[in-house]
């Protein structure tokens, strides 16, 4: 078996391990989470309460800035969640693209 069989992902994921903030549509309160990894189409987050998270939310990559991605939950397990970015427009900060 070759390496492609084991790694079926279409996009390279970059390990980030930086804080990020979740904004629920029902309020403007930002909840801190950890951005574990990131790729062109989505991200993996660690948060305190996965099961209270709405299906769609805004992810702020830096606190108090306009670097926001609309997300949809793809999977959730324990304290981790996988999200898909909903817009085609990339707003990933330059420091995450190197």
pLDDT score of 75: 95
Does some domain include residue 6?
no
Three-class secondary structure of residue 29 per DSSP: coil
Residues 6+ apart with CB under 8 A from 81: 44, 45, 46, 47, 50, 53, 73, 75
Residues of the chain with pLDDT under 50: 1-7, 90, 92-98
In sequence order, what E strands does 1-98 have? 14-23, 30-38, 42-46, 56-60, 68-77, 80-85
Does some domain include residue 1?
no
* 13-23 residue pLDDT tens: 789 899 999 99
Q: Is 33 exposed, middle or buried (0-12, 13-18, 19+ CB in 10 A)?
A: buried
pLDDT score of 93: 46
> What's 86's domain CATH number?
2.40.10.220
Domain extent at residue 19: 13-96
Number of domains composing the chain: 1
Does some domain include residue 5?
no
Three-class secondary structure of residue 7 per DSSP: coil
Does some domain include residue 50?
yes
């Amino acid at each position: 078996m070759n390496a492609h069989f084991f790694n079926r992902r279409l996009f390279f994921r970059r390990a980030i391990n930086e804080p990020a903030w979740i904004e629920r549509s029902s309020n403007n309160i930002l909840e801190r989470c950890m951005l574990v990894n990131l790729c062109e189409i989505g991200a993996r987050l660690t948060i305190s309460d996965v099961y209270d998270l709405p299906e769609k939310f805004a992810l702020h990559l830096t606190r108090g800035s306009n670097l926001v991605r609309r997300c949809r939950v793809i999977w959730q397990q324990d304290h981790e969640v996988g999200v898909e970015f909903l817009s085609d427009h990339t707003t990933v900060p330059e420091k995450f693209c190197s």
